[in-house]
Amino acid sequence: MKVPPNFATYLDPNVSSMNPANIGHSFYVYGTFPVIANKLLAIATKTDNYNDFTLLGRMLSGFVDLLMVAIVFKTAELFERKEKLRPSVKYWAAFFYAITVLPIQLSHFFTVDTFLNAFVFLSFYSALSFSYSKRIIWLLLSGLFLGLAIASKATAIFIFPLLLYFFINAYSEKRKIQKKHLLRLLGDILLFGITAYLAGRIADPYLFQNPNVLDPTPSQLLIKNLKDLQAWSDPKAWYPPGVQWIHKTPILFGLKNLTLYGIGIGYMVYVVLGGVFLIKKIKNLALYIIGGWVILFFLYQSLQYVQTMRYFIMIYPFLALFAGIGFSYLSQLIPKYVSGILLFFVIIWPMLFFSIYTKPVTRYTASDWIYKNLPTNSVILTESWDDGLPLPIYDMSQRNYKPEQLGVFDPDIPQKWMTMNDLLNKGDYLILSSNRGWGSIPTVPERFPLMKKFYEDLFSGKTNYQEIKEFTSYPSLTYLGIPITIPDDNAEEAFTVYDHPKVLIFKNKNK
């Protein structure tokens, strides 16, 4: 990406050098605002090179998610002032968000998710503030942040029904809108929409077909890309990353990953308790509406073909708010020492998960071991659609390894297995650098009957390949001197594969 010579060129999706489609990346389905913002920051800090750009983006992502802790605090504080919540709720809500595992993980990567989450929640906070104050600045800020959220990822639009409720609530009296307020409400919604549109237009001009601000026609290339993506999100499509979703149980799969890995079991207990106290004691309509939106969004996302955990990120700050309510009100009813014990069961999961950041990534550790232990000129087999090892952490010419790739996701036809068997006979070592293959392919036996049998035989020692080394980085307390480790192999693939995959190395016994 290059900064265009002037603002008019930047706004023109057909010529701008910041539009991915104009620089060799015609398939791009996310908003470009996070990349554009990081590009400008990289230029300002003289870090506009491949490695530093990535690291700067990760720092920016972490900062944005850290900001979320403060926004959650301010949101709970606003409810405290207007809806008489207990004063401690704001502290506990901020605490719960700060220790939430999935946002911690996502903040380590330069992707759009943390930006989407922050701008969506800022838009919500601004709408909430407008609902209570009727100050037009909050309406404008809500539109601004929603525009930035859409410029980060289009799914931000799902927050709009919740925002609309608070716009309406600003003018409702005894749950009814007086006729005298109706015209003003419509004007406010129109002003909000114009603000959101202009903010999104400037933050990501490439969502649109042409540079004319008065023409909101969406980018035809983007529409095509989204249709292509949708076509791949189909059990009938032969798309390797989609194999993992073919037999997942709607709702239950998302709930399992949210509860066990995204926030933790103890945390979820307080989310539920927050809902109970809301119904039994607080009885606040605004919080009911928020809870209803959270449930509906969760159900909608859980019924999609792709149920990856990060697609649920927008509900996490609301879960922190409800968990804060749950813990705050429960602590009134039980002794302090009991509260401390219960709190331990909440914080134990992020403490376990944090261990993966106290050591190098398993792929790096495995690569170091490979260079030091595998002979020169070894034929190393890896799997398609996964990271091949060893990583180039040393001069690869020192070992001159000969990499070959197994097409494990190819259709299970005779031609595939002729090639596979030739490579398996030829190989000296087989390296599985994550569970991308063995974690998803066996779950679809009707499509991969031979691959399923291959993995079963491989792991039971019935092939020519014998496991000689395993590298894991499971959530653990061993870094604190406590011998507790929790294997998370059954988590959703992306949860482990990007920052703590299990790496398995096998040696050909016939070589």
Per-residue pLDDT of 149-202, as tens digits, reads 999 999 999 999 999 999 999 888 666 666 767 888 999 999 999 999 999 999
Per-residue pLDDT of 27-41, as tens digits, reads 999 999 999 999 999
Per-residue pLDDT of 441-462, as tens digits, reads 999 999 999 999 999 999 999 9
Cβ partners under 8 Å of residue 101, min gap 6: 261, 262, 263, 264, 349, 350, 353
Task: Sort residue 461 into left (φ over 0), alpha (ψ -120 to 50) or beta.
Answer: left
Cβ partners under 8 Å of residue 43, min gap 6: 3
Instruction: Give the model's confidence band at 127: pLDDT under 50 very low, under 70 low, under 90 confident, else very high.
Output: very high
pLDDT at 139: 97
pLDDT at 99: 97
pLDDT at 238: 83
The predicted model scores a pTM of 0.94
Residue 451 has phi, psi (to 5 degrees) of -65, -40
Q: Please write down the HEC assignment for all residues of 150-189.
A: HCCCHHHHHHHHHHHHHHHHCCEECCEECHHHHHHHHHHH
Residue 416 has pLDDT above 70, yes or no: yes
pLDDT at 429: 98
Per the CB < 8 A criterion, the answer to whether 372 and 366 are in contact is no
Residue 398 has pLDDT above 80, yes or no: no
Report how far apart the first and last C-alpha atoms of the chain are (Å, whole number): 48
